Amino acid sequence: MSTFRSTNPARPAEVVAELPLHGAGDVDTAVDRAAEAQRAWAARPVPERADAIAAVGTVLRARKAELAELVSREAGKVRIEAGGEVQEAIDMAAFVAGQGRSAMGEVVPSELGSKLAWTTRIPVGVVGMITPWNFPVAIPSWKVFPALLAGNGVVMKPSELAPACGVAFIEACIEAGIPAELLQVVHGGAEPAAALATHPGVGAVSFTGSVPTGRKVAAAAMEVGPKLVSLELGGKNAMVVLEDADLDLVLDGALFGAFGSSGQRCTSTSRLVIQRGIAGEVVERLAARADALRLGDPLEAATDVGPVIDHRSGERIVGMVDHAVQEGAKVVTGGRLRTDVDGCTGGTFVEPTILRGVERHHRIAREEVFGPVLSVIEVDDLAEAVEVVNGVEYGLSAAVYTRDINAALRAVAAIDTGITYVNAPTIGAEIPLPFGGTKHTGNGFREAGTRGIEQFSQVKTVYVDYSGRLQRAQIDNREA
């Protein structure tokens, strides 16, 4: 069987893992195995499944440092953020395990006597999961735990750019006692992913990645028959800063939001939509802070900004910056590709970049950059800021910084995103609440929170009539 390698983005000559390159036949085998194992798993009581998921949390906690190091090595995430990512998976295990002993449906009073009416959740069978490279442990956990709780088998296709993290996560699940056959992993890029999405034995497809790929996956999956297809796609997240904001807080939030994970989060702050009167001061102070960020090996504690995932991605990001300059924007700081960072031979970095003079129609103001680039868009007031925030196809995350409670709540009401923060950056979602976006960012499903299970299960409505006679809803005891 042919193989492929994942490498360390900081030093691409360093191979992290070598994995088999799977094809459609391997996907068939994986789906069959997961389907076979799923029957016994689904027969277990939900709290028992929940206990098994809680046990995975314990294993993840014990292996947190080791997994975080792998995330740094394979996805280029700086140490502290890699630790946060593994913690997210640990938190998700605890949350989903708790869900296993909570309400999973509704009970309503029947309109008829001696009759019960409730809903419950039933598994879909096998869930096909296609995941991106940028949260290679957390995103699998967002999908695998609720899918297991719902009683499903899993076939996961992790990103070919960070497959070892996906494998390590699945190994932790198996080490904790989840049956190995229930959790299948296939490797490679578009080919096994497309085979998985279109497999007739897959009852739900859960995809996280870019908008163009998500569209293809959804269209192909629906071609082979109706199934659950959930999409968590890209973002063009904005931070709105009003004149009365606490500017120190703004600087901390913008810096973390825009340049954390080298801007490669779906929720990264990509636009700073700021009232004109304070733009000069904020941009100047922010540029000084951005300049001081240290590029380096993500494994070094002193590193603030790691590499981008690969050279092609770096060229694409800098290409977008160059295009913005052609359209009239000015580079305040950064803007260059760096391949000379100490200890990172062959690694590609993009300097933390701030662009001023960006207009809302510029390409850089509308398209996802997925790199450490912050576009500053100046506005007159909150109403114009909201227009800018909403004037893109994406709808994932937004933030508003102000000390005025009325302005903050007006912004929350008017901004069309799945997640909105007040006086906190566009990144930093917590597990117990739903995560996802509006418009082209998704198709209405949410990950995490109590709704996370909806991607992986169907609702069954149950009526039990113990009257011993025919009772007719909407007819008996009603006016003619």
Among 110, 119, 120, 210, binds ligand NAD (CB under 6 A): 210
Q: Which is nearer to ligand NAD, 126 or 287 (CB)?
A: 126
Give the x-and-dash track for 165-204 against ligand NAD (CB under 6 A): ------------------------xx--xx--x-------
Please name which of 119, 125, 126 lies closest in space to residue 104, comparing C-alpha atoms.
119
219 binds ligand NAD (CB under 6 A): no
Beta bridge partners of 229: 205
Please name which of 119, 128, 113 lies closest in space to residue 158, comparing C-alpha atoms.
128
Q: Which of 85, 232, 378, 447 is catalytic?
A: 232
The first and second tokens of residue 163, run together, are 């497959």
Please name which of 145, 146, 182 lies closest in space to residue 38, comparing C-alpha atoms.
182
Rg (CA), the chain: 24
208 binds ligand NAD (CB under 6 A): yes
* Residue list 356-395, contact with ligand NAD (CB under 6 A): 368, 370
Neighbouring C-beta atoms of residue 14, cutoff 10 Å: 13
127 binds ligand NAD (CB under 6 A): no
Evaluate whether 403 touches 248 at the Cβ level (below 8 Å). no
Q: Which residue has its beta carbon closest to ligand NAD?
A: 209
Distances (CA, A) of 363 to 279, 320, 358, 409: 21, 8, 9, 29
Among 198, 213, 269, 353, binds ligand NAD (CB under 6 A): 213
Q: Which of 165, 173, 266, 344 is catalytic?
A: 266
266 classed as catalytic: yes
266 binds ligand NAD (CB under 6 A): yes
135 binds ligand NAD (CB under 6 A): yes
Q: Where are the beta strands (DSSP E) in 283-441?
A: 330-333, 337-338, 349-350, 353-356, 373-379, 394-395, 397-401, 419-422, 438-439
Minimum distance from residue 135 beta carbon to ligand NAD (Å): 5
132 binds ligand NAD (CB under 6 A): yes
How many residues line the site for ligand NAD (CB under 6 A)?
A: 30
The first and second tokens of residue 16, run together, are 């992290």
235 binds ligand NAD (CB under 6 A): yes
Q: Which is nearer to ligand NAD, 237 or 402 (CB)?
A: 237
Evaluate whether 128 touches 196 at the Cβ level (below 8 Å). yes
Q: What is the largest CA-CA distance in the chain?
A: 83
Residue 94 to residue 404: CA distance in whole angstroms:
36
209 binds ligand NAD (CB under 6 A): yes
81 binds ligand NAD (CB under 6 A): no
Among 8, 38, 152, 159, binds ligand NAD (CB under 6 A): 159
Minimum distance from residue 436 beta carbon to ligand NAD (Å): 6
Residue 468 region, left (φ>0) first, then alpha (ψ -120 to 50), else beta?
A: left
* Residue list 50-79, contact with ligand NAD (CB under 6 A): none
Among 89, 164, 172, 217, binds ligand NAD (CB under 6 A): 217
Minimum distance from residue 325 beta carbon to ligand NAD (Å): 23
Count of residues in the chain: 480
Write 21-24 long-range contacts (CB < 8 A, 24+). Answer: 21/187, 21/188, 22/186, 22/187, 22/188, 22/191, 22/192, 23/188, 23/191, 23/192, 23/195, 24/191, 24/192, 24/195
232 classed as catalytic: yes
216 binds ligand NAD (CB under 6 A): yes
Which residues in this chain contact ligand NAD in the complex, by CB under 6 A? 130-135, 157, 159-160, 189-190, 193-194, 197, 208-210, 213, 216-217, 232-235, 266, 368, 370, 396, 437, 441
Instruction: Supply the residues annotated as catalytic.
Output: 232, 266
